[in-house]
A and B are shown apart, each in its own frame.
Chain A
Amino acid sequence: MVQIKINGIELDVPKGTTVLEAAEKAGITIPTLCYHKDLSPYGGCRLCIVEVKGGRVPMTSCTLPVENGMEVQTETETLHKSRRTILELLLSTYYDSGYAQKDEHPNELEHWAKAYGLDMKAFMAEKPRYEINSDPNPFVWVDLNKCILCGRCVRACAEVQGRFVWGLSERGYEARIVAGLDEPMLEARCESCGACVAYCPTGALDNKMSVGLGAPDKVVRTTCSYCGVGCQFDLNVKDGKIIRVTSTPEGPVNGMRLCVKGRYGYDYVHHPDRLTQPMVREYLLKGETRKDKKNRGEWVAVEWETALNIVANKLNQIRSESGADSIGVLTSAKCTNEENYLMNKFARQVLGTNNIDHCARLCHASTVAGLAIAYGSGAMSNTMQDIVENAKAIFVTGSNTTEQHPVFGTMIRQAVLKRGVKLIIADPRRIDLVDFATLHLQQKPGTDIALLNGIMNIILEKGWADEQFIAERTEGFDEFKANLQNYPPEKVAEITGVPIEKLYQAAEIMGTCKPMAAFWAMGITQHIVGVQNVLTLANLQMLLGNMGVPGGGVNPLRGQNNVQGACDMGGLPNVYPGYQPVTSDAAREKFETAWGVPLSPKPGMTVTEMIPAAAEGKIRALYILGENPVMTDPDVNHVRHCLEELEFLVLQEIFPSETSVYADVLLPGVSFAEKEGTFTNTERRIQHVRKAVEPVGQARPDWEIISDLARRVITLGGRKPSSAPQAGWQYASPAEIMDEVASVTPSYAGVSFERLDRGENLHWPVKGYDHPGTPILHIGQFTRGKGLFSPTTDVPPAEKPDTEFPMLMNTGRVIYHWHGGEMTRRAKGLLEVYPKPLIELNPEDALRIGINGNRRVRVTSRRGSIVSEAWVTDRVPEGMVYANFHFPEANANELTIAALDPIAKIPEFKITAVKVELADE
Chain B
Amino acid sequence: MSVETKSSNKVLEAVTAAIEKYGAKQEELIPILNEVNRQLGYIPTEAMEEISRRLKEPKSSLFGVASFYHMLSTKPRGRHVIQFCESAPCHVVGGREVFEALKEELGLEPNETTPDGKWTLITTSCLGVCSVGPVIVIDDDIYGNVDARKVPEILARYE
Contact = CB atoms under 8 A, between A and B. Distances in A.
A165 interface: yes
A435 B61 CA distance: 17
Nearest to B63: A181
Contacts of B63: 167, 169, 178, 180-182
Contact of A167 (B49, B56, B58, B74): B58
Contacts of A171: 68
B48 A181 contact: yes
A189 B56 CA distance: 14
Nearest to A176: B67
Contacts of B48: 181
Contact of B64 (A158, A169, A183): A169
A559 to B, nearest CB: 30
Interface string A157-191: 01000001111111100000011111100001100
Contacts of A166: 60
A168 B58 contact: no
Nearest to B57: A164
B26 interface: no
A170 B59 contact: no
Contact of A165 (B45, B60, B68, B74): B60
B98 interface: no
B68 to A, nearest CB: 5
A909 B31 CA distance: 50
A180 B60 contact: yes
Contacts of B61: 164, 167
B62 interface: yes
Contacts of A181: 45, 48-49, 59-60, 62-63, 74
Contact of A170 (B56, B60, B67): B67
Given A181-B48, A181-B49, A164 B60 contact: yes
A193 to B, nearest CB: 15
B contact residues, range: 10 to 19
A417 B47 CA distance: 26
A615 B62 CA distance: 60
Contact of A179 (B45, B60, B67): B60
Interface in A132-170: 154, 158, 164-170
B49 A168 contact: no
Interface in B50-101: 56, 58-64, 67-68, 74
Given A181-B48, A181-B49, A168 B64 contact: yes
A168 B66 CA distance: 11
Interface residues of A, number: 19
Nearest to A189: B59
A99 to B, nearest CB: 27
A166 B58 CA distance: 9
A170 B45 CA distance: 16
Contacts of B49: 181
Contacts of B56: 435
A340 B74 CA distance: 58
Nearest to B43: A181
A185 to B, nearest CB: 10
B68 A188 contact: no
Contacts of A164: 58-61
B68 A169 contact: yes
B66 to A, nearest CB: 8
Nearest to B67: A169
B74 to A, nearest CB: 8
A873 to B, nearest CB: 14
Contacts of A188: 59-60
B32 to A, nearest CB: 15
Contacts of A189: 59
Contacts of A435: 56
Contacts of A182: 63, 67, 74
A167 B64 contact: yes
A171 B64 CA distance: 9
B55 to A, nearest CB: 13
A182 B64 CA distance: 9
A525 to B, nearest CB: 32
B59 A180 contact: yes
A435 B64 CA distance: 22
A170 B49 CA distance: 18
A159 to B, nearest CB: 13
Contacts of B59: 164, 167, 180-181, 188-189
A170 B66 CA distance: 8
A160 to B, nearest CB: 15
A182 B62 CA distance: 11
Interface in B91-150: none
Interface in A536-578: none
A182 B63 CA distance: 7
Contacts of B67: 169-170, 178, 182
A178 B64 CA distance: 8
Nearest to B45: A181
Nearest to B49: A181
A248 B45 CA distance: 38
Nearest to A168: B64
A238 B79 CA distance: 60
20 contacts: A154-B60, A164-B58, A164-B59, A166-B60, A167-B58, A167-B59, A167-B60, A167-B63, A167-B64, A170-B67, A170-B68, A171-B68, A178-B67, A181-B49, A181-B60, A181-B63, A181-B74, A182-B74, A188-B59, A189-B59
A-B pairs, top 10 by smallest CB distance, nearest first, are: A167-B60, A164-B58, A180-B59, A169-B67, A167-B64, A181-B63, A181-B59, A170-B67, A168-B64, A181-B48
Interface of A: 154, 158, 164-171, 178-183, 188-189, 435
Given A167-B58, A169-B68, 5 more contacts: A167-B60, A171-B68, A178-B60, A180-B63, A183-B45
